[in-house]
């Protein structure tokens, strides 16, 4: 039975989540349709532009992403404190970039509310908007519905574009976050769409290396300040509570080396002593390769130590979280 999204998200356990949405049609979201020979490559830029637009509005940051031929991945950080710091006026302004306002809210803003009960109702509506602007389901709704409408219009057809609901995976500790980011960044390598991370366009690692998502990156106007990818710990992020607590250079060098190893024509191994990040994560080269290749297939719902999984289960009303056996050896 499908679970309510509230049963899959617990911000008291983690603010990091891995989100996946897959296209339902035979014709691809992006890439080339082998049957019709029609190219949909331009839709990758649709995805990147929409992600940028939405994250400029929502209190959610992107740590990693990859736009593939028939699905996409996001690793996000939910920042409720950012939403709580917004004034009521800013909440309304952000919400109205996506939806129409409400008559009661408009009357409150103009000082025309007729009674206290009307003011209270308008405030309840604003509070609901504030909550939704840091909600994963509302982010994904605004991303998927927008892309579906554009694709349907281009294909001159109607019907569902996405395969059911998006999937979410809670990343309960730093090791899970870094391993998932690497798994996402290496998607084009595993799919043989690119030979190196330097050429894997429409991924977060390509953007981190080249400071843009593709060779034809659009810089469209946004209603609010564009958010960069969630930063790694460094001089520019050392005082930020939501920076990734590792070196960007260490991450890039490890993912680049991992990409070379997992290519089918260059199968090999990693010497963990050569990569400081593996030492910091307390993971050996073989386990890291296993994570980088199979993270999305072997782990479900949540990823972390057994203690973290048990706490997550309690806070989301579950008896237990699957995958204890697979995770016990690596996430300890």
pLDDT tens per residue across span 90-109: 999 999 999 999 999 999 99
CB 185 within 8 A of CB 197: yes
Report, as an integer, the average pLDDT of 157-164.
Answer: 82
Task: Point out the least confidently predicted range of 191-195, 242-246, 321-325.
Answer: 321-325
Report, as an integer, the average pLDDT of 171-175.
Answer: 92
Residue 272, SS3 per DSSP:
helix
pLDDT at 40 over 50: yes
C-beta neighbour count of 276 within 10 angstroms: 15
Structure confidence at residue 236 (pLDDT): 52
- Percentage with pLDDT > 70 across the chain: 87
Positive or negative: CA dihedral 87, 89, 90, 95: positive
Q: What is the pTM of this model?
A: 0.91
> How far apart are the C-alpha atoms of 78 and 298, rounded to whole Å?
24
Q: Which of 242, 261, 273, 244 is nearest to 179 (CA)?
A: 244
Residue 27, SS3 per DSSP:
coil
- Tell which wins on pLDDT, 317 or 58: 58
Span(s) in the chain for CATH 3.30.70.1290 = 9-79+134-325
| Ranges of H-type helices in the chain | 42-57, 80-85, 88-95, 103-109, 116-132, 136-155, 174-185, 187-190, 204-210, 248-262, 276-281, 285-298, 306-315, 324-328
pLDDT at 1 over 50: no
**Annotation: CATH topology of 9-79+134-325:** Alpha-Beta Plaits (3.30.70)
Structure confidence at residue 249 (pLDDT): 93
Mean per-residue pLDDT over the chain, rounded = 86
Q: Which of 99, 1, 10 is nearest to 309 (CA)?
A: 10
Report, as an integer, the average pLDDT of 190-199.
Answer: 90
pLDDT at 82 over 90: yes
């Amino acid at each position: 039975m499908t679970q309510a999204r509230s049963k899959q998200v617990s911000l008291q356990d983690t603010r990091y989540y891995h989100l996946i949405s897959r296209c339902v049609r035979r014709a691809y979201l992006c890439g080339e349709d082998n049957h019709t020979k029609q190219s949909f490559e331009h839709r990758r830029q649709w995805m990147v532009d929409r992600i940028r637009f939405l994250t400029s509005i929502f209190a959610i940051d992107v740590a990693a992403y990859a736009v593939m031929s028939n699905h996409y991945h996001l690793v996000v950080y939910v920042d409720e404190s950012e939403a709580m710091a917004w004034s009521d006026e800013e909440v309304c302004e952000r919400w109205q970039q996506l939806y129409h306002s409400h008559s009661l809210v408009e009357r409150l803003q103009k000082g025309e509310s007729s009674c206290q009960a009307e003011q209270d109702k308008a405030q309840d509506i604003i509070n609901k908007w504030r909550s939704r602007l840091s909600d994963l389901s509302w982010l994904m709704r605004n991303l998927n519905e927008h892309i579906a409408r554009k694709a349907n219009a281009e294909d001159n057809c109607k019907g569902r574009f996405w395969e059911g609901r998006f999937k979410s995976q809670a990343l309960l500790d730093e090791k899970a976050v870094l391993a998932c980011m690497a798994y996402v960044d290496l998607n084009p390598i595993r799919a043989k769409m690119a030979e190196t991370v330097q050429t894997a366009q429409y991924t977060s690692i390509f953007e981190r290396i080249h400071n843009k998502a593709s060779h034809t990156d659009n810089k469209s106007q946004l209603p609010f300040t564009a958010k960069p990818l969630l930063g790694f710990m460094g001089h520019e992020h050392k005082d930020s509570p939501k920076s990734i607590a590792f070196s960007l250079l260490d991450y890039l060098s490890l993912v680049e080396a991992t990409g070379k190893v997992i290519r089918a024509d260059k199968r090999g191994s990693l010497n963990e002593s050569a990569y400081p990040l593996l030492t910091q994560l307390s993971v050996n080269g073989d386990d890291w390769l296993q994570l980088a290749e199979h993270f999305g297939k072997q782990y479900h719902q949540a990823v972390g130590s057994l203690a973290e999984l048990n706490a997550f289960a309690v806070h989301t009303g579950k008896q237990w979280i699957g995958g204890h056996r697979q995770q016990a050896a690596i996430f300890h």
